[in-house]
Structure 1
Amino acid sequence: MKLTVRRGGGIAGITARTELDADALPPAAAEAFAGEISHAGMRELNDPPTTRQRPDSQLYEISLEEAGQPFSVHYTDESLPEDVRRLLAWVDGRPERVESIER
């Protein structure tokens, strides 16, 4: 299972990519990762209805790959569900995450 988060937009317009692969985690952390994904309801999420967004709004593309099956959802700061926000904070706190800047 791998989670990829692309964050872009905002004033600077830079896109940052964060990836966390369960295979890179110790067994207990991999279980916690699966629990965080389940708690956030990642497998049941849909893109929110399109609404007018602020010009400096942060955009999120969150992709989950599990058993070879990819799944992606898109949010803004305003539409990001709180449970997904907690999942992203958990991922951001893991030293095994891989971060990069995209052009």
Structure 2
Amino acid sequence: MERLQKKVHNLHDTERLRTLYDQLQTGVRSLEALGVASSTYGVLLLTILRKSIPSELCLEYYRMKTTSEAVPEDDLQEFLNFLKAEVESRERESTTCSTPL
């Protein structure tokens, strides 16, 4: 949990974003394997996560949420899907696009 509280300050720090996502997936899968439902920890975890990501990324998440009709229990999975897509997109961008001058 302490690792999740370390804020990723730079939106372009794909390595730290990837690490955050991987740690999240590991933790969530471990809890699922123990039979713990995401409904018991999802709201708390989402609160911590939204404070751990860059504000620009959080803003993108809220923009996306206004256009989707999510079920409250699916919020954690929806956030994980969003974060995964963002991390993968930024990784692809950093390897295929040229850097600005």
Q: Same fold (TM over 0.5)?
A: no
> What's the TM-score, normalizing by structure 1?
0.31
Q: Which has the higher helix share?
A: 2
Q: Which has the higher strand share?
A: 1
> What's the TM-score, normalizing by structure 2?
0.31
Larger radius of gyration: 2
